[in-house]
Amino acid sequence: MTQLFVGTFMDTPKPGELRIRKDHLMAISSEGYITHLSPLHSDSSQLFLSDHSSVSPIEIPNASFLLPSFVDLHLHAPQYLFNGTGLDLPLLEWLEKYAYKAEERIDSSTELAERVYEVLVRRLLDNGTGCVSFFGSIGVEANLILARKMQELGLRGFIGKLSMDQSPRPTYGESSATSSLSSITQFLDSLQAYLAQFPTHQRLVQPIITPRFIPVCSDELLVGLQKLAKERDVRIQSHMCEGRDQMDMVLKRGKGQDHEYWDKLGYLGPKTLQAHVTYLDEEMIPLVKDRQVTMAHCPLSNAYLSEKQFPLREAIDNSLSVGLGTDIAGGYAPSIQTQMRQAVVISRMREGARCESMNCSFAESTQKEGQHLKVDWKESLYLATRGGKKGMGLGGCFEVGMEFDAQLIELASSNSPTGTGPLDLFDLSLESKLDDDESWLENIERWWCNGDERNRKSMWVQGRKVA
């Protein structure tokens, strides 16, 4: 059945642009796609209402708005088992002490996988995340359990069964490139068979080929995975230029620079998602842009496990494809809202270091030679919604033809007239309608800074109400 919504709709069609559409009518088809979005009193909306007179519109309350749901481009699902542990360690030590062990435990117990993945999916939905690109484990069954949980609970996303035939951990890895390729083929076939029972528009899960990173994969495996991705028309994800230790391992194997070797193997393209890329520089930017690679910026994780912070300002200014990732468990917060805030904080710190190097203040820095490095909250909101979705071939904003993945955000209500949850909005009055863009901008920024799950009153994925 068609769904109708009347009220205020917010989205970010491009970086830095917050689009506010008040008193609009939106229609959602029975398959979960946006079919109409126009001012409520326009001729087209009135005609649409007349043609659908049997459908009662859902009224979005004053001081509430619909926003596209968040996108998490990088999350290690099995690592939620130990989330928030051991972040004092360097990356490679942390992987050995915690990450590989957790993934091995998930693969060895279907009961544990069922329990962890149900909690994780529910937690993500609670935090407004409607689409995720997961790194899974090397086992087939645990990844299929994750797929079932996503389908049942209504989380859209991509599942990457890990491939790694040169694991540093003797008890956790794949014995050969042949064995690894056989395992990923089995996963692709099994997932396809499971999803066949659903109509096309209800298939929320897609596979994504996932070599963990170059140091734990043989050349034979990497070549085979790239060939398989092309044959099956499946996206690819991995880690690229995350930290000095990882990059040095690639150099010691005689492969050259990390990004150069990925490109040599044909991995860099419009269907490639690379996590971190903290060492992105002026030489790498043209390559990433030309290949149309999407990057997952994981600001919280990078602060703990990388020596260098991702140059987000430069990426945006060069029109690179970027979204946000939690990188659980390298980043301990499952909230993309936390990542938005952290991305802005990191950019301010980078700008502060730039000012210090020029011996000037923030105010003076804009008059100095060179581009500033700050990113604002509206740009981070773009990354969390449209930026991430666009990079994965999806929508991410409110346009006719796009999937309806949305969250209802409440700033205040009759029960909490001066602010819902953590918000204290002293100048907001529910007695008068929020009509001007300036008032909306001020209050949305305050939600961006301090809002949490208490402000999220509903969630929809592909038109289905999920939370």
**Rounded to 5 degrees, what are φ and ψ at 154?**
95, 35
Given this model, what pLDDT does residue 366 score? Answer: 66
Contact yes or no for 378/18 (Cβ under 8 A) = yes
CA-closest candidate to residue 211, choices 179, 239, 176: 239
β-pairing, 235-240 vs 272-276, is parallel
Q: Report pLDDT for 221.
A: 98
Could you report the per-residue pLDDT of 282-308, keeping only the tens digit for each? 999 999 999 999 999 999 999 999 999
H or E element that contains 164: none
Residues in the chain: 467
Q: CA of 204: how far to CAs of 281, 368, 395, 400, in Å?
A: 35, 48, 14, 19
Q: Where in the chain is the domain with CATH 2.30.40.10?
A: 3-68+396-465
pTM of the model: 0.97
In the chain, CATH 3.20.20.140 sits at 70-392
Beta-carbon contacts of 257 under 8 Å, excluding residues fewer than 6 positions away, are 241, 247, 250, 251
> What does the pLDDT read at residue 254?
86
Q: Which two tokens stand for residue 23?
A: 């008193």
Residue 167 tokens read as 């694991």
Residues 158-217: pLDDT tens digits? 999 999 999 999 999 999 999 999 999 999 999 999 999 999 999 999 999 999 999 999
Pick the CATH number of 3-68+396-465 from 3.40.50.300, 3.40.640.10, 2.30.40.10, 1.20.1270.10: 2.30.40.10
Domain 70-392 sits in CATH at: 3.20.20.140
Name 235's bridge partners: 208
Q: Is 127's pLDDT higher than 80?
A: yes
CA–centroid distance for 218 within its chain: 29
